[in-house]
């Protein structure tokens, strides 16, 4: 039961353009959402989060949008830079279908920013 | 600097051996976690602990064991019962295991069975 899905395994974007990474979830009990960036053989680095009471959160070049009715969130990176090339994971947290508090991670999207 | 330290970075295990991965945090976080990452998959929860001397199984706890004798430390033992232990292991922590709290990760440990 994959409660958090990142349907695009990879994405290529030209430097300076916008990168949009998408994430869908199925459990309406999730109330806090996070995005992480990961380089090979390193731990994920926290980027930005959003509470379910908001629909947008911005931090520099990174903006996360939450559409609760669609159970969808997205991460926008503007402008994209070559150093943004990494794997991006979304995560959702809240009461899971098993009744316990959980953090559920997607499978990741590999972003490649072309110079 | 505050953070989460995992060691060793690379570890090789022979068939039938138990190995222990270390995780130490100086963030004063109450909750600690162990995740496993396999190629093409998301992070899967092995064990978590919300307070000292207490821990719960995650989604894939079989073949693993943990202890939480100190707030700062949450070692993971990969036992010989774990049939497919080759993976990238991630330790993480958060202030609490509740709404609105961010999980922070260590640098990870690679375990390879030889």
List, for residues A20-61, the tens digit of each pLDDT value.
999 999 988 899 999 999 998 899 999 999 999 999 999 999
E strand intervals along B1-114: 4-7, 10-13, 19-25, 31-37, 43-51, 54-57, 64-66, 76-78, 87-94, 104-105, 109-113
Burial B46-63 (b: 16+ CB within 10 A, else e): bbbbbeeeebeebeebee
Q: How far is B68 from chain A (nearest CA, A)?
A: 19
Whether residue A97 has pLDDT greater than 80: no
Residue of A nearest to B6 (CA): A43
Q: Of A76-80, B20-24, B39-43, B83-87, where does mean pLDDT reach its minimum?
A: B39-43
Q: What is the pLDDT of residue A52?
A: 94
pLDDT tens by residue, A53-74: 999 999 999 999 999 999 999 9
Set of chain A residues whose Cβ sits within 8 Å of the Cβ of B92 = 43
Neighbour count for residue A54 (Cβ, 10 Å)? 13
pLDDT interval class at B1 (50, 70, 90): low
pLDDT tens by residue, B14-71: 888 899 999 999 999 999 999 999 887 789 999 999 999 999 999 899 999 999 999 9
For chain A, the average pLDDT equals 93
> Coil, helix or strand for A30?
strand
Set of chain A residues whose Cβ sits within 8 Å of the Cβ of B43 = 44, 89, 105
Is the CB of A43 less than 8 angstroms away from the CB of B106? yes
């Amino acid at each position: 039961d994959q409660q958090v899905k990142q349907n695009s395994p990879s994405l290529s974007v030209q430097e300076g353009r916008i990168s949009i990474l998408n994430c869908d979830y199925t459990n309406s009990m999730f109330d806090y959402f996070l995005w992480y960036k990961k380089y090979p053989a390193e731990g994920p680095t926290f980027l930005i989060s959003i509470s379910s009471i908001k629909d947008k959160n911005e931090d520099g070049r990174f903006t996360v949008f939450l559409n609760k009715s669609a159970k969808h969130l997205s991460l926008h990176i503007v402008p994209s830079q070559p150093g943004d090339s990494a794997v991006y994971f979304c995560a959702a947290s809240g009461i899971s279908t098993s009744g316990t508090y959980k953090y559920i991670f997607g499978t990741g999207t590999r972003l490649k920013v072309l110079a | 600097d505050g953070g989460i330290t995992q060691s060793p970075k690379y570890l090789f295990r022979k068939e039938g051996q138990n190995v222990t991965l270390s995780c130490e945090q100086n963030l004063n976080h109450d909750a600690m976690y162990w995740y496993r990452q396999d190629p093409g998959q998301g992070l899967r929860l092995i064990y978590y602990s919300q307070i000292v001397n207490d821990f719960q199984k995650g989604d894939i706890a079989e073949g693993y064991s943990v202890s939480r004798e100190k707030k700062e430390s949450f070692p993971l033992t990969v036992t010989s019962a774990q049939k497919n232990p080759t993976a990238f292991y991630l330790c993480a922590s958060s202030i609490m295991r509740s709404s609105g709290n961010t999980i922070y990760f260590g640098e990870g440990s690679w375990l390879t069975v030889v």
